[in-house]
Amino acid sequence: MTDRRRAAPRRHSRTRELTPRTHWLLLSALAVTLSTALLLQGYTHHMFGISSDDVTGSRGRADAVPGQVAHGGPVITHAAGAVRTVRPEARTIALTFDDGPDPVWTPRILDVLRRDHVHATFFVVGTQVVDHPDLVRRIVAEGHQIGIHTFTHPDLSRLAPWQRSLELRETELAVAGTAGVTTALLRPPYSSSNEALDDADWSVLKQADQAGYVTVLSTQDAEDWQRPGTARIVANATPHGRAGQILLMHDGGGDRAQTVAALNTLIPRLKAQGFRFTTVGAAVGMAGPVQPAGLGDHLQGLALVTMLRAGDWAVWLLGVLMYAAGVISVLRAAVVVVAARRHRRLRTGRRGRSWGPPVTEPVSVIVPAYNESAGIEAAVRSLLASDHPVEIIVVDDGSTDGTADLVESLRLPGVRVIRQENAGKPAALNTGLAAASCELVVMVDGDTVFEPDAVRMIVQPFADPGVGAVSGNAKVVNRGGLLGRWQHIEYVVGFNLDRRLFDLAECMPTVPGAVGAFRRQALLDLGGVSDVTLAEDTDLTMGLCRAGWRVVYEESAVAWTEAPASLNALWRQRYRWCYGTLQAMWKHRGALVQRGAAGKLGRRGLVYLFLFQVLLPLLAPVVDIFAVYGLVFLDPVRITGLWLAFLLLQFGMGLYAFRLDGERPGPLWSLPLQQFVYRQLMYLVVIQSVFTAVSGSRLRWQRMERYGSLRAPTGAEPSGDTGHAGAAGDTWATGAADSTTAPAQPHPHDAAPQPDPYAPVPHSGPYAAMSQPGPYAPAPQPDPYAPAPQPDPYVPGPYVPVPAPGPYAAHPDSRPHAPAPQPAPHDTTTRWY
């Protein structure tokens, strides 16, 4: 039977359509900034480090080192030109301290120097400057000189020229940003006296000279880095004779208690011997090696210090989040698996007593369709093959590809087509709901094929009067290729395990549009299907829960649905799902403070959705960034081990979920690859959806691609109850056109044969059988655009045409039950299925 109805005129609200783009720029800038900070932090903290002065081993050839340098003074200037070396004045000792500032030992050394009225020169490491800026400021404020000792304490002779420049410039900026001064003094790490210079060291000194630095070596090494004991340090630091010395000591890089103790003895003893202590600059007569920093250097230094500190905090925070995400993931896995196991046991035990008396009453199946010609025949034929009495209502929402014509041309019993102008899926569902003659309704997408027992299985929970809706088990039919396998895994492992948990916790948030059953009156009490969100199925389910109805999951009600076959189509679908879910969560946020069934939805379902479908995906990018950071700068073995443990956890969940669903575990081999493409796509969808929601933009409806991978059942015959309203002898409208004079269909037990809905219809049009594999074998497809043969209107037959003046002309309703009032449609700007 075909009803042609004109949808009521709709007023489109002037909602401003925004296409978010700015947030991607902000996210990209944030990602670049975070990556830069982490890269700089990793380089400065993990590529090198302060170590003993003897770790670099023996030196190389020294042919390029000028003789006046090898045998000259420890202060070297103009290394790249007319080289000059300078020695300290006689009876002058320039105390120098390397590897600081250290938060423990530098303050103690400063205290000793202040007590003895001695000034020294501190060659600082850039990373220590960033970590302890107050100590740098104290060093300058107390009259000591600052020199640089590189940023990460590497052996400069083993670095590329660009790395040397980076090491020196970063340290200079760190000092400028923290203490507000710049310095020309440089001491390369692992350097000692002039005699120890080799050709590689000389190249470093020449490059440093070109950058404006004066190299300061040493003439006497206290060797306190070996920690030989206080007495030995004092002996090593005591000059032999009256020559001036540049004394090498350390205030960082390890335990410097012996150094502090040695200074308490050394300074008074040498003063008593007539030595004076001063800075390097004063010891060699250098004018102003330390100067106030310019505004540019100071600002750049502040930016560098801020970025490095932010990097430290980011690494700490990312580490916490990574471990938190791991703990939450393990906890979720345990909860989901335990819940699924308990759910299985309860359902297995319940089968003996079932939900109650078998539900045998007929069911109205509503199929909203918009340009579904690729799969609508397979969907309708599978429904007609149900072993439960069904009334099939196809609501064509203004299709432009001949969907309604195709269904009509099939002339299948028990199938009615209602045409309306394009108004959106919610409006199409409301039209079907108003036209339904049964109390129980099943809603199914036009790209879904039902198993023969799916309708019967999905309505059995309605034996419990408290059940208002039932979610079926949707499976992916087009599993070919990696994308199909990944979605198949997601449906089985993600969606179905969650549904078992939601069922057990009585907080089911979504009955999928592909396969769901409802009490018609419960939907009418809610005002029908709303279009205020893009996830009408989630909105509807949450509304039922808040109204006090229980929503359950029936895993044995299996339907096959087409999944997107391209990344672009998958993005559009998941974007709509996620954005619509956020809308529904916000709309029903009041459930958080309600009692009863609504409270269970709020405090269980909404919290679960927020934690695992919103918050964790938002954290996923930073976790991935930290994982890459760990592989490069931390322990790659440990990071790889954590990733493998996480993958093993997912694989275990997958095996269990596939076993529960009776699926072969073969597709799980692609699980590791899923982590590198599919997972990133999903969390980008969440990010896009959240920004769209926060910005107040309205997501546009789009057309979902169909691929024709669904197939009608082979050799299936319609059930004897198909097309009957339950009681023997009672019939409802069949495949005749809108005519009250159409002959009634014979009862299945009568001798007259039933028309075969799967009989091939010869044609050569666009609906010819396709060869793509699916769960059902292909059936011949009719050409909806070819003119159907018109039988003689005076000869009795099952299909008596009734002339129609137009595509939306009204026709008398031949159903035995008058339609309930149709819920008012809601405004929708653009439509998408």
* Residue 65 dihedral angles phi and psi, to the nearest 5°: -75, 120
Contact between 50 and 149 (Cβ < 8 Å) = no
Distances in Å between the alpha carbon of 214 and those of 86, 146, 205, 402?
A: 11, 13, 8, 85
- Tokens 């590329």 -> residue: 160
Contact between 250 and 279 (Cβ < 8 Å) = no
Contact between 831 and 422 (Cβ < 8 Å) = yes
Dist. CA 395–CA 431, nearest whole Å = 7
Nearest partner of 722 among 365, 356, 359, judged by Cα: 365
First-to-final CA distance of the chain: 24
Dist. CA 763–CA 491, nearest whole Å = 36
In this structure, the strands spanning 92-100 and 276-278 are: parallel
Dist. CA 670–CA 678, nearest whole Å = 11
- For residues 532-570, one letter each, b for 16 or more C-beta atoms within 10 angstroms of the residue's C-beta and e for the rest, the string is ebbbbbbbbbbbbbbeebbbbbbbbbbbbbbbbbeeebb
Nearest partner of 281 among 88, 71, 112, 110, judged by Cα: 88
Contact between 369 and 416 (Cβ < 8 Å) = no
Nearest partner of 821 among 407, 458, 467, 528, judged by Cα: 528
Range 666-671, long-range pairs (CB < 8 A, 24+ positions)? 667/479, 667/485, 667/488, 667/489, 668/489, 670/482, 670/485, 670/486, 670/489, 671/489, 671/647
Within 455-549, strands assigned E span 467-476, 516-519
| Residue 16, token pair as written in the block | 């401003």
Dist. CA 794–CA 225, nearest whole Å = 113
Distances in Å between the alpha carbon of 383 and those of 212, 370, 753, 772, 785?
A: 84, 18, 20, 21, 24
Active site residues: 98, 250
Contact between 460 and 652 (Cβ < 8 Å) = no
